[in-house]
């Protein structure tokens, strides 16, 4: 098994996998002035990947558009295939376009399935991804005909970090800021040893034409008081509105002051971090499924790599 990744990630990858990999190969990234991508797998001194199981560890960078990210990934998979690797495993920590897992309005594409189809046509054998944003389907693998799909839980990564780094008390409440997040809030509560009594829910409706959202509290236990510590749990922070509006509702309607914002994928559209910080949460924690360049020191990142490492160990 050989890993192909960015030079800057090689050491981090080796540390997390305890150097189980025979060789790490770096990607050289060139972009032409008109924006066309020209990535290259750097094979030093005529080395080869023929007949090797290749693991592409390829997280999206925060400065990169999902489109550039995917095209770069497609170009690299095709290259690995042409260089005659025996097997290709792509680690795609944040799977772009997964949110479009349904045709919401007539005439729209089923984007998530299109991405899956291209990956498969390029010859991928296996995908390892983290908490893909699928809501309308139960199982991400239904879109892949041959490739194996491994879904890791980003909530587990967050819960492990919170356990080690945040002091929670018995009055902690785990809140889902929208309908879909209820399963993640419940998972987090269970992993940290709390019962269903400690899960609260907020409902969110989104206007499919304008994208505007409306949220309201639907379920918060009676024992909650102004000293209750609230962990809001979601899969994605993009604009930050879902997380912050949920916190504002809890602040105005229940007097909550103490928040921990936790989410798997730091998509962070412009202005999102300032919006999150405006609520002065005690902690903001996400995972490193997206590489944050120039991240605020207030944003803590829990690493997915130990979990990826265990998954890779099963493949040997
Ligand atoms: C939506 O259903 C997701 O789970 C997130 O709640 C959403 O993507 C967050 O987006 P934003 O930060 O823009 O409100």
Residues of 134-164 as b/e, b for ≥16 C-beta within 10 angstroms? bbeeeebeebbeebebbbbbbbbbbbbbbee
Is position 308 within any domain? no
Q: Please, which residues have CB within 8 angstroms of residue 232's CB and are 6 or more apart in sequence?
A: 175, 176, 177, 243, 246, 247, 259, 260, 261, 262
Is position 315 within any domain? no
Same domain, 175 and 256: yes
**Residues framing ligand 1 (Cβ under 6 A):** 178, 180-181, 234-242
CA of 84 to the centre of ligand 1 (A): 40
CA of 177 to the centre of ligand 1 (A): 9
pTM, rounded to two decimals: 0.93
Q: Over the stretch 198-252, which tens digit does the pLDDT of each residue have?
A: 999 999 998 888 888 899 999 999 999 999 999 999 999 999 999 999 999 999 9
CA of 240 to the centre of ligand 1 (A): 7
Whether the CB-CB separation of 270 and 241 falls below 8 Å is answered with no
Residue 34 and residue 19: Cα distance in Å, rounded? 39
Residue 252 sits in which domain range?
155-302
Q: Over the stretch 152-190, which tens digit does the pLDDT of each residue have?
A: 999 999 999 999 999 999 999 999 999 999 999 999 999
Same domain, 217 and 131: no
Count structural domains, the chain.
2
Question: What is residue 155's predicted lDDT score, i.e. its pLDDT?
Answer: 98
Atom of ligand 1 nearest to the CA of 240: 12
Question: What is residue 93's predicted lDDT score, i.e. its pLDDT?
Answer: 97
Question: What is residue 21's predicted lDDT score, i.e. its pLDDT?
Answer: 67
Stretches in the chain below the pLDDT threshold 50: none
Specify the residue with its C-alpha closest to ligand 1, atom 8: 236
Residue matched to tokens 């750097």: 42
């Amino acid at each position: 098994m050989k890993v192909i990744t960015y030079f800057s990630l090689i050491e981090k990858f080796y540390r997390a996998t305890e150097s189980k990999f025979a060789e790490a190969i770096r990607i050289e990234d060139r972009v032409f002035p008109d924006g066309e991508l020209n990535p290259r797998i750097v094979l030093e001194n005529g080395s080869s990947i023929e007949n090797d199981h290749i693991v592409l560890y390829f997280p999206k960078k925060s400065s990169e558009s999902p489109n550039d990210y995917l095209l770069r990934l497609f170009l690299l998979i095709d290259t690995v295939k042409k260089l005659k690797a025996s097997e290709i495993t792509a680690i795609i920590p944040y799977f772009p376009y997964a949110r479009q897992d349904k045709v919401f309005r007539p005439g729209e594409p089923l984007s998530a399935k299109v991405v899956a189809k291209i990956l498969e046509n390029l010859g991928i054998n296996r995908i390892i991804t983290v908490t893909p944003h699928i809501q309308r389907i139960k199982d991400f693998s239904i879109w892949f005909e041959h490739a194996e799909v491994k879904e890791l839980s980003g909530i587990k990564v967050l819960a492990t970090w919170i356990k080690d780094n945040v002091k929670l008390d018995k009055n902690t409440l785990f809140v889902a800021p929208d309908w879909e997040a209820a399963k993640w809030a419940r998972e987090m509560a269970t992993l940290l040893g709390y019962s269903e009594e400690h899960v609260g829910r907020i409902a969110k409706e989104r206007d499919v034409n304008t994208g505007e959202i409306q949220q309201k509290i639907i379920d918060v236990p009676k024992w909650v008081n102004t000293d209750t510590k609230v962990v809001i749990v979601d899969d994605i922070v993009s604009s930050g509105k879902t997380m912050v509006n949920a916190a504002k509702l809890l602040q105005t309607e229940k007097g909550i002051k103490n928040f921990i914002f936790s989410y798997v994928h730091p998509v962070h559209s412009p202005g999102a971090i300032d919006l999150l910080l405006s609520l002065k949460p005690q902690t903001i924690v996400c995972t490193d499924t997206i590489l944050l360049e120039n991240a605020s020191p207030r944003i803590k990142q829990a690493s997915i790599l130990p979990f990826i490492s265990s998954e890779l160990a099963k493949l040997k």
